[in-house]
Structure 1
Amino acid sequence: MIRRPLVCALALCLIAGLATPDADAQRRKRSSGKARTPAVAPACTDFHAFANADWLKANTLLPGADSISALEQLAERARQQQVDLLNAAMQAPQNDVQKLLGDFWASGLDEAAVERDGARPIAPLLSRIDAIKRAKDVAPAVAALHQVGIPVLFNFGADLDLQELDRHIGYFSQGGLGLVDPAWYTRTDADTRAVMTRYDAYVQKILALTGSKPERLAAEARQVLDLETRIARASKPLPELRDPRRNYARVAVKDLAKPYRNLQLVEFLKAQGVKDDTVSLADAAHFAQLDKLVGSIKPEQWKLYLRWRVGDAMAPYLAKAFREASFDFRGRVLQGLQAPPPRARQVLDAINLAAGPMLGREYVARYLPTATRERAETVARQVREQLLAAVARDPRFGEAAKAEARAKLAKLAIEIGAPRRDLDYSVQPMGRGSFGGNMLIASTWRHREEMRRIGRGNAERRWNVLPQEPSLAYDLAHNRLIVTAAILQPPVFDAAREPAAQYGAFGALVGHELSHAVDARGRLVNAKGDAAPWWTPAEIAAWEALAARVAGQYEGRPYPGLSSVRVSGANVREMGAADFAGLELAWAAFTAAQPNPPQAARQAFFRAWAGLWPQQLSAETAAQRAAGSVYPPGVWRTNVPLMQQPAFGEAFGCKPGTPMQPNPTQAVRLWP
């Protein structure tokens, strides 16, 4: 603190005392006016708080809740739309698919009927298991359960052929356990033993509900756990399953017969309706061990294991005793939940699991107007054109890389609403009397349709997300942008708002995703769809230097809701770079479509971006995300990309050097 000498202080007091009353009044007026005018406008200090003030005030986090955000509210709205659709289908179905869905929905909501139904829905499956007499009967029973959507002993599913990306093949992989992680069965620490004790009790409850006598429960549960432990010991640790390339190995179907006589894998494929001549079976040692287990373990033990797996898989869809047993372990013990979701939510989740594509078909017809689809496609195509232009002028790319990027972007498909595919909706009539029975009917249908996509020319016809689930993503394997019907509503896409807002929200998200076609991830797949990197070492180095600068924009910023915790630039740099790119491309598309937009439109563009990211997090959730999330928290996901945009500063009058508009030399631009 600087202390004035006493003489100077007295002189200042005398000068002040000699001021005329009018001059003094004018001085107070000017001083008062300065106090009311902040040095920096709120929009230029923290745009996230400025633009989302009303949302943040109206959406406080309730006790016990983990998070709330604008995008979570969009997802909840999509769920309510599905409920409304199902209610309408239940009351007045307009076609055969709606009749199936309406009956499925009605049977699930009728808890009295579910209670009366008891264990009857799984009785045919239990009878099939009980018919096992010899070792050779085990494999056909396993195949029959896979057919109804209950994978036992191992997993089998359709996915991309990593050598031919235009086809799907069947993947044989480890599975068949009641606990996802095989390590649970072999660890000996106190926490694991406590969980396994609870698991043993759960197995006993399901065995009792599926026919075991009370005096035999403990011994029979031990046999189930013994068999699962043997499967677990033959399984790989979960971290080894994360790399798809290490879990892919093409095998001719004809070569499966001799090594796996007990598993009868050739017959298994025929039972699933798979006619392809090739599958992936990467862990031959695991399946050889399973084959030995089928041949060496007594049929009675297999019957216990299979009965337990059926009861466990179907427990959420059966009578109250089954549901409570399942939730006590899987909900309370494994997930830490205090209460199950409301009944309607449980039934909706079940329908999406078993009949999701049916519901998606009707959702698109009801909630995606043709005008909205066409407008979204127009904006997406305009953003793609701007990406082509940006790549052409990018000094980081050499001519060969630019040519490859142009070829890739020219082929890039934009798919809006729902996937292009033909499904066979012929299904056994469901009726309203048995929710568990309907679940099995629908699961059998969906498994059948999944198996039908195995083979050449099918891969691009399927999405890995349902149309009724909000999603906007770049599909690297097929070089396409996927935009579901459910995502095309506020705050992502508002057909009623001005075009500027559509570009600022939807267009920027499109730009974010399309940038992945030509970034450090996109460089791994070329324009032909081959897994062939197409950057030079110099281009990789240039990208790394840029990514490091992006990381620096986020590094060390305070994590909202946490003291002494900072954002990790290394964690968020890839998503941050895509956000930078998305905003730049969307702004270029907007100003190309509407040159010299008025200030109100320019401000609407940036407000729309901010409107995507308001959120409230509990301290626990914030800590979890700060530790490992690749996405910045909402405040920085809004502000940091905007800070890089001179057009933002111009729209809101933010001068260089203010928090929301750093000096130009400090800003990072993805596309020069």
Structure 2
Amino acid sequence: MTLRPLACALALSLIAGLAAPGAEAAKKRAPAKAKAAPVANVCSDFYANANADWLKSNTLLPGVGSVSAIEQLGARARQQQLDLLNGAMTSPKNDVQKLLGDFWASGLDEAAVERDGAQPIAPLLSRINAIKNTKEVPASIAALHQVGIPVLFNFGADIDLNDLNRHIGYFAQGGLGLPDPEYYTRTDADTRALMGRYNTYVQKILALTGTPQAQLAAEAQQVIDLETRIARASRSLLDLRDPRTNYTPVDTAKLAKQYKRLQLGEFLKAQGVTDDTVSMANPKLFSTLDGLVGSLKPNQWKAYLRWRVGDAMAPYLAKPFREAEFDFRGKLLQGRANPPPRAQAVLDAITLAAGPMVGHQYAARYLPAATDKRAEDIAKQVRDTLGQVIERDTRFSAAAKAEAKAKLDKLKIEIGLPNRDLDYTVQPMGRGSFGSNMLIASTWRHREEMKRIGRGNADRRWDVLPQEPALAYDIAQNRLIVTAAMLQAPVLDMGKDAATQYGSFGTLVGHELSHGFDNRGRLVDAKQELRDWWTPTEVAAWDALGKRVAAQYSGYDYPDLKGVKLNGQQTLDENIADLAGVELAWAAYRSAEPGSTKANHQAFYKAWASLWPQHMTSEVATQRAATSVHAPGQWRTNGPLVNQASFGEAFACKANTAMQAAANQQIKLFP
């Protein structure tokens, strides 16, 4: 959804009657003007005090569940992408912009999309319709995967848990039109009703892809029958939550012999994969699929494959496709009342198919070299500070400190874009067919994804896009990732002083870097091997710290909810990281700017607060209170500062007040 700040007039004055007052009335005291709500005191609620102007001038729009400074940053980045694509459409600066500009123009031309009808997928349908026997089915499956339409199962690149420097291919369950395999096997009334609606949707797509009216019911049943067989051999969504259950390395050479009908060896060749290992966590599923290739008739496979193509491409084709898809997926499954505006839908499509391509151009336009360098300099200073405080920390043994130092020495910092670029060689798109351009772009992205598979390729790209605001620690690759879109206000404002930059960007860097050396980071060592490099004594010390932090945050009321407390245990890891971020950035700032003033110190803490202002409806607050691992903005701001003596000194907050714990009660992550 689009979030916009809404100015709200708050000056409501009481006015005397229109008639001129008499002499006696003139002597009487005039009615007092209504007072604006008082601004919270710095030492009682720093969040409300520091963000008073934002909280007053930004209110929730009707139908919008939340608004925050970070959400506004996301909206700004989205507008920048629209501006970039509009510029590429009218006056491209290079070959990649020409591709993107044509892609964008073809998507905005709704009349051309309507004229195009089902033509973009006609070559795919022709190949499917030409299948004469089941031996030809696997090649069609492989070809559809190549253009970014995964059918029958999913296959993608991910970390090899036995070697974090490497990606391997993961064969995983998929191939269903419904999001949960249990839909196909449950027998309750609601599920039966949903399956009835699903059957109707399948028939609509089959009709649009060429099935004669008289055969629609039979072919839709064939599709659902095949998907039901896949679902019965699939694992539940709950079973898939643990990444370890999805990792079972197998020798690639054995696949061709074990799954002869499915032709998985040929499948890998078609995807350009030559690695010696893949993961297949559910061989029972693939044995089932192998059997289905040999037992089902070609016509059933053709109906299924045409349905999967039509369903996958429906949002990018003519109106009958889009309406059928939105009525079922948008309205019924997702509960949305209306489809997104055309520009938003096209941007979403381009992000899906060519997101890294947009990110490359976004960084070139919106990330000046000076901003990139400043971000890297601050990140390195915070990193060095982390090394210093770990070395001084008496809770860690000499062995743990040595491991932490080795890990920190190997830490990679990637700002703006991934260090390893992609190959942007793509078939020319042109402006004639949006659906065809989607297939061209998704074929390119699939090709680049497959290049991630193999030794030494694990850092080939990020799992976030440069045009999306993100700052994250990649635990598997031991690297700090900062996207180009993140490097603007309120995170890094080049027009502000050093105190503000450290208080916003520096604190977020410290937050993320701490994850490499916390309760999760301890499970990956300096060699990027999975092992716990803490001793039981160090674990006990961390647990004791965690209990104090959880108790502190559990005492806070959840904003916008009556009688609900923050779940300090649920938000523990992120609360500790917030505490670490503020401590590390403050120490880095004081080292970089030893002559800083009290005003500078106040600016540092105000910058921290400026990251977290937000408004929520009670419904959103209820959902986040139950599920979010982050504290709400008020306590992300105030929670760490209660424990900072330097904050109390900067604002003259006395001990044992709401914003300043007594010295012996303050929680220090790095004593």
Calculate the TM-score normalised by the size of structure 2. Answer: 0.93
| Structure 2 CA distance for aligned equivalents of residues 575 and 198 of structure 1 | 42
Amino acid at match of 1:590: Y
2:541 aligned with 1:542: yes
Deviations along 1:66-101, whole A, 9 cap, x unmatched? 111100100111111111011111001111101000
Q: 1:209: how far off?
A: 1.0
2:340 aligned with 1:307: no
Count of aligned pairs: 636
Q: Secondary structure at the match of 1:258?
A: helix
| Structure 2 CA distance for aligned equivalents of residues 261 and 234 of structure 1 | 19
| Structure 1 CA distance for aligned equivalents of residues 649 and 178 of structure 2 | 56
| Contact 2:43/2:653, CA 8 A, preserved across alignment | yes
Alignment of 1:73-222 (within 5 A): 73-222=72-221
Deviates more, 1:355-364 or 1:149-158: 355-364
Q: Secondary structure at the match of 2:79?
A: helix
2:41 aligned with 1:62: no
Deviations along 1:131-157, whole A, 9 cap, x unmatched? 111111110010010000000000001
Amino acid at match of 2:203: Q
Alignment CA distance shift 1:633-1:422 (3 Å): closer
2:252 paired residue number: 253
Amino acid at match of 1:557: Y
| Contact 2:39/2:48, CA 8 A, preserved across alignment | no
Amino acid at match of 1:279: V
Amino acid at match of 1:524: L
1:342 paired residue number: 341
Amino acid at match of 1:300: N
| Structure 2 CA distance for aligned equivalents of residues 186 and 330 of structure 1 | 20
2:437 paired residue number: 438
Q: 1:197: how far off?
A: 1.9
| Contact 1:167/1:458, CA 8 A, preserved across alignment | yes
Q: 1:251: how far off?
A: 1.6
Q: 1:39: how far off?
A: 13
| Contact 2:420/2:460, CA 8 A, preserved across alignment | yes
Q: 1:410: how far off?
A: 1.1
Amino acid at match of 1:254: A
Q: 1:596: how far off?
A: 4.1
2:411 aligned with 1:415: no
| Structure 2 CA distance for aligned equivalents of residues 80 and 165 of structure 1 | 36
1:21 paired residue number: none
Pick the structure with more helix per residue: 1
| Structure 2 CA distance for aligned equivalents of residues 39 and 183 of structure 1 | 54
Deviations along 1:554-584, whole A, 9 cap, x unmatched? 1031111111211111101110000000000
1:12 paired residue number: none
| Contact 1:40/1:658, CA 8 A, preserved across alignment | no
| Structure 2 CA distance for aligned equivalents of residues 328 and 665 of structure 1 | 60
Alignment of 1:501-520 (within 5 A): 501-520=500-519
2:375 aligned with 1:376: yes
| Structure 2 CA distance for aligned equivalents of residues 267 and 184 of structure 1 | 32
| Contact 1:474/1:481, CA 8 A, preserved across alignment | yes
Q: 1:215: how far off?
A: 2.7
2:397 paired residue number: 398
Q: 1:277: how far off?
A: 2.0
Deviations along 1:434-483, whole A, 9 cap, x unmatched? 00000000001111111122111111121111111111000111111000
List structure 1 runs of 4+ shifted beyond 3 angstroms.
Answer: 38-41
Amino acid at match of 1:426: T
Q: Secondary structure at the match of 1:426?
A: coil
Amino acid at match of 1:364: A
- Cα RMSD between the aligned structures? 1.4
Alignment of 1:272-671 (within 5 A): 272-671=271-670
Q: Secondary structure at the match of 1:45?
A: coil
| Contact 2:262/2:290, CA 8 A, preserved across alignment | yes
- Unpaired stretches in structure 2, ≥5 consecutive residues: 1-34
| Contact 2:39/2:49, CA 8 A, preserved across alignment | no
Deviations along 1:500-555, whole A, 9 cap, x unmatched? 01100110000000001110000000011100110011111110110111111110
| Structure 2 CA distance for aligned equivalents of residues 650 and 557 of structure 1 | 23
| Contact 2:199/2:220, CA 8 A, preserved across alignment | yes
| Structure 2 CA distance for aligned equivalents of residues 41 and 83 of structure 1 | 39
| Structure 2 CA distance for aligned equivalents of residues 279 and 640 of structure 1 | 45
Deviations along 1:286-317, whole A, 9 cap, x unmatched? 11011011111111111111111100000000
| Structure 2 CA distance for aligned equivalents of residues 264 and 207 of structure 1 | 27
Amino acid at match of 1:309: R
Q: Secondary structure at the match of 1:610?
A: helix
Q: Secondary structure at the match of 1:460?
A: coil
- Unpaired stretches in structure 1, ≥5 consecutive residues: 1-35
Amino acid at match of 2:267: F
Aligned-pair identity in percent equals 68
| Structure 1 CA distance for aligned equivalents of residues 446 and 416 of structure 2 | 23
Q: 1:162: how far off?
A: 1.2
Alignment CA distance shift 1:61-1:39 (3 Å): closer
| Structure 2 CA distance for aligned equivalents of residues 342 and 636 of structure 1 | 36
| Structure 1 CA distance for aligned equivalents of residues 604 and 59 of structure 2 | 26
